[in-house]
Amino acid sequence: MEWVGVPPPQAREGSIKSKYTSLPHTDVYFWECKKLKLFRFGRDGSEGELSFLCFGLVQGQTPLFPRIFGHEAAGIVESIGEGVTDVKPGDHVLPIFTGECKECSHCKSEESNMCDLLRINTDRGVMLNDGKSRFSIKGKPINHFLGTSTFSEYTVVHVGCLAKINPAAPLDKVCVVSCGISTGLGATLNVAKPKKGSIVAVFGLGAVGLAACEGARIAGASRIIGVDLNPNRFKDAKKFGVTDFVNPKDHQKPVQEVIAEMTNGGVDRAVECTGNINAMISAFECVHDGWGVAVLVGVPHQDAIFMSKPINFLNERTLKGTFFGNYKPRTDIPNVVEMYMKKELELEKFLTHRVKFSEINKAFDLMLKGEGLRCIITMED
C-alpha cells in the first residue's frame, strides 16, 4: 500500500472515487508477466508436443511496471475535466476497460463495439489526452492499466470509458458487470442468441463461462451442458442452471463426439470461455450441422492456430468471436445493470468472497488457488 498522487482530470476525463473493485483473471495475468517463464509449444501453437523451446512472457503480455492494476469496479464521479457533459460529480459509474467515443465508424455501427479511439490497449500506461500518467509516487510516474486502474481510491478515466448507471443500483454487486460477467452474458445473449428451448454447451466454467450459462438460462435454454477439465467447477455450475457436465478427461474420444452423442447430432449453440485452442475447436465441432452457432470468447495464446475441416462450415455450422459480449460500454452496460435491478440477472451467485482494500493480497491468493468466482474488494475502510 502506498500513497499515490492523483491530480485533477484533464479534458474529456473524469476523476472517480472507487467504491468497490474486484479481481478478474486478467489483472493476475498481467501482474504475473513480470516473471519470465520457460514454456514449450507445438507447431499448432498448442502446449505439449515439443517442437522447439522458447523463452517468452506468460501469455505474451508486455511487462509495463510499476503499474496500478484493477479494471472491474464501481465508483462515483468526484470531478470532471473540460468538455465533459455526459457525467457530473456524484454520478454512479462503472469504469470499463474498453470505450465508446460515439464518433468513430465502429461506434456509429450497430454491429460493432470496437471503438477506434478507446478500444482496449493493454500496452498503454498513459492517458490519451497528453500521453502522460495521472499517477505518481514522490514525483515518479506510475503506469495506468486498461485505462481504469481501480486498485486506487481515486483514479482518472477517459469519459468514453465511463458507463453512467442507475444510482439505486448497489455498487458492491454491480461492480462485476464492468468486465467478465457482461462478456459471458453478452456472448450468449447478443452473439450466440439461443432460441427458447435450445441446447447450449459452455466450455470453461470460470466466471466468464458461468455468465454465459446465466445468459443461456435467461434465454430459456432447455439444457445447458458445462464442459471443464476441473471437476471442482461443476459444483458452482449447478447454481447457474447447468444440467449436464462433461469432463473431457473422462472420455477416450474427442469431447465434440461425446456431446454429439448426448444431443442427437450436436448442440444448437456453443460458447467457448477457456482460452484453450483445443476447446475452441471442440466448441465449433460440437454444434449441430444445418443451424449450429459457436462463439469464441477466450483469449488464446498469441501463436495458437484454429484448425477445422472446411466441410464443417459447408455443413452450415457458424463460427463467431466476440469482444466484451458485443456490448457498447456507455450505451448498453447501463441496461445490463437494469437487468439486475429487475431481478432477471442474478449477480449474487458470482460474489463468493469479500475483503477490505488493505487485504487485497487475499483476493490474489484466492484467484491463484482457483477458489471462488469473484472477490469484492471494498475501498471503504
Question: Which residues would be at the binding site for ligand NAD (CB under 6 A)?
Answer: 24-25, 180, 183, 203-209, 227-230, 233, 248, 273-276, 278-279, 297-299, 322-324
User: Judged by CB, which is closer to ligand NAD: 81, or 372?
Assistant: 372
Residue among 80 and 227 whose Cβ is closer to ligand NAD: 227
Pick between residue 6 and residue 115 the one whose CB is nearest to ligand NAD.
115
Question: From its phi and psi, is residue 147 left (phi > 0), alpha (psi between -120 and 50) or beta?
Answer: left
CB 356 within 8 A of CB 363: no
Q: Residue 97 CB, nearest distance to ligand NAD (Å)?
A: 8
Among residues 87 and 375, whose Cβ is nearest to ligand NAD? 375
Task: Confirm if 78 and 309 have CB atoms less than 8 A apart.
Answer: no
Pairing of strands 199-203, 223-227: parallel
234 close to 226: Cβ distance less than 8 angstroms: yes
Which CA distances in Å does 145 have to 97, 217, 247, 271, 363?
Answer: 9, 33, 35, 28, 18
Alpha-carbon span 299 to 301, nearest angstrom:
7
Helix, strand or coil, per DSSP, at residue 266: coil
The smaller minimum CB distance to ligand NAD, of residues 84 and 212, is found at 212
Angle (CA) 361 367 373, round 5°: 120
Instruction: Select 6 or 177, whichever has its Cβ closest to ligand NAD.
Output: 177
Q: Which residues contact 51 (CB under 8 A, 6 or more apart)?
A: 41, 42, 43
Distance CA 99, CA 89 (A): 20
Q: Across the strands, what pairs with 376?
A: 22, 354
Closest residue to ligand NAD in the complex (CB): 206
Q: At its nearest, how many Å lie between ligand NAD and the CB of residue 246? A: 9
Type of residue numbered 354: R
What one-letter code names the amino acid at 45?
G
HSE, CB side, 13 Å, CA atoms: give it for residue 93: 34
Of 133 and 278, CB closest to ligand NAD: 278
Find the angle CA(229)-CA(234)-CA(235) to the nearest 5 degrees. 145
Nearest CA-CA partner of 101 in 331, 365, 288: 331
Preceding peptide of 66 cis, ω within 30° = yes
CB nearer to ligand NAD: give 15 or 278. Answer: 278
Max CA-CA distance within the chain? 65
Output 199 or 205, the one with its CB closest to ligand NAD.
205
Shortest spacing between CB 45 and ligand NAD, in angstroms: 14
CB 46, min distance to ligand NAD, A: 10
Q: Which residue's CB is nearer to ligand NAD, number 80 or number 279? A: 279
